[in-house]
Amino acid sequence: MALSQYAKPPTPFLQHSAFIFFSILSVYAINLHATDPPLTLDYYSSTCPNVLEIVRKEMECAVLSDPRNAASILRLHFHDCFVQGCDGSVLLDDTITLRGEKKAPTNIRSLRGFRIIDGIKNKLESECPGIVSCADMLTIAARDAVILVGGPYWHVPLGRKDSRTASFSLATTNLPTPDQGLLTLISKFLYQGLSVTDMVALAGAHTIGMARCVNFRERIYGDFQETAHKNPLTEIYLSNLKSGCPPIGGDDNTTAMDYFSPNLFDNSFYQILLRGEGLLNSDQEMYSSKLALETKELVKKYAFDPIAFFQQFSDSMVKMGNITDPDSFVTGEVRKNCRFINT
Ligand code: HEM
């Protein structure tokens, strides 16, 4: 599917200047990813027929040993795709000649799962050496991660190549951060050819996994009390959050983003937003911002209709996985070790 088909036009609620801003962004995004990525479902059917089983087995072990690993792999895939497209660039280690993405502000001390990726790659290299790209492997692993914690299944188009470069600066600018306002968040998804609907559905990934205190301190000492309903349970929840995340220090202390069911992929994340108790400011913005007309309706829809959420999440994950730089098919490679380009 051409990305232009899902670069949704701006909605009427946006003011005139924002409308023009998003129009330009949409056009820019379409130009960036104008062609259909040449990905197919049966890409490895003759060269590595067991690829899906191998990845699934490794992911089963990883998630069994710690359910958070599902969340960490899903996030790795997202952070890969938003920087140069899904090309395994996020997996590259720093070397003398290459500045990787792992130390970019959104990634450092935060991204996890690299050893799991190494383990899957080792298995694939012994079964079908030099065949399966790290980018494809990560895309399959992210799909399996979601299924293993109760989420939806989708078919994964394959055939991505691994980049021979990474971009610290794009990792710094393209990835959304929790302190950003709704319009900035939307613009970062539009830039990638993803729509407002894609953004709200994909943010539902926060139904699993953890966040560090440094990323929600301003929220819990800021407008949490304003957005949340006033009731004793909320008061207790907030005071627990504060005791795990003091005003100073404890930056790396972690808390689940979905306190109802932190290890289950379900729609309770959206129900938390309806209660005004989103942990990240960026998540609560989708429901509580004054500009949140379209996003608010989507949050309500997914809170009440888990099937609609699963369907949209699957579709949006395929779209996100299809973000590719056309050049990567010419200049890319299949890395032997996901941490380093081939010599
Ligand atoms: C809408 C914009 C988004 C923002 C601002 C955002 C921000 C964040 C932040 C701040 C964290 C916590 C990191 C830490 O404290 O170390 C996080 C975790 C996470 N994010 Fe997002 N995120 C966004 C969208 C997404 C998307 C699109 C996905 C996947 C499709 C995703 C998947 C996850 C997962 C699974 C975790 C938990 C990771 C773990 O426990 O290791 N996020 N996100």
pLDDT digits (tens, 9 = 90+) for 267-297: 999 999 999 999 999 999 999 999 999 999 9
3-state secondary structure of 210: strand
What is the 8-class DSSP label of residue 132?
S
* pLDDT for 99: 98
The enclosing H or E element of 110 equals none
| Tokens 């990525």, located at residue | 37
* pLDDT for 35: 53
Contacts of 42 (CB under 8 A, 6+ apart): none
* pLDDT for 230: 87
79 flagged as catalytic: yes
229 is in an annotated binding site: no
pTM for the whole structure = 0.93
Could you tell me the pLDDT band of residue 229, with boundaries at 50, 70 and 90?
A: confident
Q: In the predicted model, is pLDDT for residue 334 greater than 90?
A: yes
Q: Which atom of ligand 1 is nearest to the CA of 320?
A: 30
3-state secondary structure of 324: strand
Mean pLDDT over 169-184 rounds to 98
185 Cβ inside 6 Å of ligand 1: yes
* pLDDT for 25: 53
User: Which parts of the chain are beta strand (E)?
Assistant: 210-212, 254-256
Which range (9-23, 77-91, 131-145, 190-204) has the least confidence? 9-23
Ligand 1: residue whose CA is nearest its atom 18: 211
- Choosing from 16, 77, 79, 229, which is the catalytic residue? 79
- Residue 84 — left, alpha, or beta (φ > 0 → left; ψ -120 to 50 → alpha)? left
Rounded CA-CA distance 198/180 in Å is 18
Which among 193, 296, 211 has a CA at the least distance from the CA of 262? 211
80 is in an annotated binding site: yes
The CA 70 to ligand 1 mean position distance, Å, reads: 12
Instruction: Give strand pairing partners of 211.
Output: 255
Q: Are 49 and 131 in contact (CB under 8 A)?
A: no
What ranges do the domains of the chain cover?
Answer: 196-316
**194, 206, 280, best to mutate for ligand 1 pocket (most atoms within 8 Å of CB):** 206
Rounded CA-CA distance 295/288 in Å is 9
Q: Which atom of ligand 1 is nearest to the CA of 280?
A: 10
**Tally of residues, the chain:** 343
Rounded CA-CA distance 200/182 in Å is 11
Mean pLDDT over 41-57 rounds to 98
Ligand 1: residue whose CA is nearest its atom 13: 211
Mean pLDDT over 214-222 rounds to 98
The CA 44 to ligand 1 mean position distance, Å, reads: 30
The CA 329 to ligand 1 mean position distance, Å, reads: 28
Could you tell me the pLDDT band of residue 33, with boundaries at 50, 70 and 90?
A: low
CATH number assigned to the domain covering 196-316: 1.10.420.10
Q: In the predicted model, is pLDDT for residue 31 greater than 70?
A: no
| Tokens 């259909």, located at residue | 36
Which among 169, 160, 213 has a CA at the least distance from the CA of 324? 160
Ligand 1: residue whose CA is nearest its atom 12: 211
